[in-house]
Amino acid sequence: MRRSGRTHYFARRCTFTPSFKNCRKFARKESRGVPRDSKRNANSVNNVNIKRLFSIGSACLMSALSAGACSSGEVPNAAAGNTAGASGNSVVGTGGSSGTTPLQTGGGSAAAVAGSSSSSAGASAVGGFAGNVATNGGGGVTSSGGFGGAGGTAMAPVPCTDKQTPDHAGESCNIWPVYDEAKGANEAKDCDASWLTGSGYCLKSCGKCTDGSGGSGNGGSGGGYSTGLGPGPALPDVTNGNIYWASRYWDCCKPHCSQNGLPSCGSDGVSQNSGNSACSGGSAYACYNQAPRAVGDLVSYGYVAVPNPSCGTCYHLQFTGTGKFNANDIGSKSLAGKHMIVKVANTGGDVAGNQFDLAVPGGGVGINANTCTAQWKLSSSDLGPTAGGFLTACTGTHDQKMSCVRDKCNKLPDGNARKGCLWFVDWFQVADDPNFRYEPIACPSDI
């Protein structure tokens, strides 16, 4: 536009032998663990211990019957790929990332919320929360003190949900896979953390679903949005310390740099037209292929207006994950670590020295209020405020804004203009004035 902590939950885990006698000894020892000088909340402590003794006793009884293993306490995140042995006895993980083989016999639970497991002959996963169960086995699987049946079909998986953590209420779950994509190869991923997917949050966006609906892509591309193109060209991180910000516009005018070889088009936005600009009464408009487009989940190409332009120069942008005017803008957060290569196509008298104005259809028509209405046969109200365009006209939550902008994009002419607008929704996550660092780069051959 031309305005042109987290709460971490730690599990305590204990193991028992199959011997019922030994488990009883442990239970007696556990009951003696209450401090004798603690009178406050004594009734609550006693109630908790009674429940724990009952749970331990039941668990160990089942262990004695099945010669399996039992565990006590919360195990919010089972180890990746927990497997069941040939006899159907499960091995509960001690923590770590969740399992990733949800739809095959013997694989660990995809969500692995509490050490749930699968097997071909029925097994138990005692202690902890129920996890997703996705088995092809014949015995069925239960958790929290249950036991597998002697045969029959496996339990149905829980629905694929995207419930956000309480401390990020109102934000999209898409932020987590995007943050993970920006991390180094050896850094722990949020989507594998016990406080997130291990506690049942953001399962869909993190790709932990088992009900067939799937996750939302490979992360790092618009909050899980997948282009189907892979990550895109390999680009290094931009490390210089200068922070700039990106506004947006699309005024339909013939670009300033057309005098330096950049094409301009007729009213269809496709056929070449070298006439005078439509914004000054001529017949030439911006070409629709100058709208931004993704070349990978992490990389996009586009065109920009800058003050005192060096026409045809290209720059490599990398987004910081913050917004210029709202540091916590959800869309801007979703861009963290993603890249753009942009070519200078236009000038902007109202563009600041630390600002790039991205050419995005639907991004706001600026001072040229009538050109796009004539070209697209839309009213000025359809195009939204002159500064900010579609997004500025939309309100509500981040998801509601995305849906609103998408609806407006679908009013634009089919082809690259509409695709460029939808790029702003899907790849750019309707980021509002995101911050970035940049460096000069040789222009790719396809921009």
325-362 exposure pattern, b = at least 16 Cβ within 10 A, e = fewer: eeeebbbbbbbbbbbbbbbbbbbbebbeeebbbbbbbb
- Residue tagged active-site, from 162, 180, 211, 357: 357
Residue 65 dihedral angles phi and psi, to the nearest 5°: -75, -40
Sole residue written with tokens 């031309």: 2
Residue 71's nearest CA partner among 124, 150, 5, 134 is 124
Q: Evaluate whether 332 touches 222 at the Cβ level (below 8 Å).
A: no
> What is the gyration radius of the CA atoms in the chain, in angstroms?
28
- Active site includes 357? yes
* Neighbour count for residue 137 (Cβ, 10 Å): 23
Does residue 268 have an active-site annotation?
no
Closest CA to 84 of 123, 50, 26: 123
| Separation CA 323–CA 398 (nearest Å) | 14
Residue 50 CB partners (closer than 8 Å, separation 6+):
none
Query: In 79-126, which ranges are E strands?
Result: 123-125
- C-alpha to C-alpha distances, 313 to 47, 277, 279, 303, 344, nearest whole angstrom: 71, 22, 24, 10, 6
Beta-strand relationship, 434-441 and 244-249: antiparallel
251, 297, 329, 433: the active-site residue? 251
Q: How far apart are CA 438 and CA 440, in angstroms?
A: 7
Residue 256 per-residue DSSP state: G
Active site positions, annotated: 251, 357
